[in-house]
Amino acid sequence: MDTPHERLIQARRAAGYASAADAARALGAKEVSYTHHENGTRGLSRAAERYASFFRVSLDWLLTGRGEMTGGSTQVDFFGLVGAGSTIEPIGDTVAATLGQIEMPSGEHLGALKVRGESQYPRYMDGDIILYDRRPRSPGDLRNRYAVVDCEDGRRVIKKVVKGRTPGTWNLWSHNAPEEEDVDILACYEVKGTLQS
């Protein structure tokens, strides 16, 4: 790929969006503006950071073609299972032997937020630190999962994202609060971990 607009098309396809129109809708962008960026009639400089974040690609790669397309992650060793009400039989050396790796965003894409409130207790407690991937995702990508959610009314919350009754809306589920129905969501962010307070 020689030009930023060609790399933008590649990033969009790799993210699973078949058309520029689909990507524009998911981004909440004007279709005509996004299409101009993909066909090269407008430069990417002002929107490049947003696109790189949304499509989960390296900003440097998108603008210059340098480096890996999907850079910005690191591998964390996975050591097995731990019991939480079930007995887990140890398998060999559970201290030093890894069973594989899981991918985490690099520091460039990793963010932290402190939990305030008890609506998700006991899953998330007041004062816990949520680690999340700062690259926005569509609500459908995180359906039936816990996510950091930016609501159209200006709130940022941690909730389980559930499909709403009205098309284009989502319900936000809590352990200890009534389910919020048909919420308009601006963006969702994948939760990567929790640090206890």
Encode pLDDT of 88-104 as tens digits: 555 555 555 666 767 77
The rounded distance, in Å, linking the Cα atoms of 78 and 65 is 32
Residues 114 and 186 in one domain: yes
Between 58 and 170, name the one with better pLDDT. 170
User: Domains in the chain: how many in total?
Assistant: 3
Do 51 and 86 lie in one domain? The reply is no
pLDDT at residue 160 greater than cutoff 90? yes
pLDDT tops 80 at residue 46: yes
**Tokens of residue 151, six digits:** 């609501």
> What burial class does residue 170 get, using C-beta atoms within 10 Å of its C-beta: 0-12 exposed, 13-18 middle, 19+ buried?
buried
- Provide DSSP, 100-143: EEEEEE-TTTEEEEE--SSTTTTTS-TT-EEEEE-S-B-GGGGT
Using a 10 angstrom Cβ sphere, with 0-12 exposed, 13-18 middle and 19 or more buried, the burial of residue 129 is: middle
Same domain, 90 and 159: no
pLDDT, residue 106, reads 67
Residues 123, 98 within the same domain: no
CATH code, domain carrying 25: 1.10.260
135 plus 156 within the same structural domain = yes
Q: Are residues 114 and 100 in the same domain?
A: no
Q: Is the bond preceding residue 122 a cis peptide, omega within 30 degrees?
A: yes
Q: At residue 174, what is the residue type?
A: S
pTM of the model: 0.59
Per-residue confidence band for 85, with pLDDT thresholds at 50, 70 and 90: low
Domain that holds residue 154: 110-195
Q: Are 163 and 143 in contact (CB under 8 A)?
A: yes
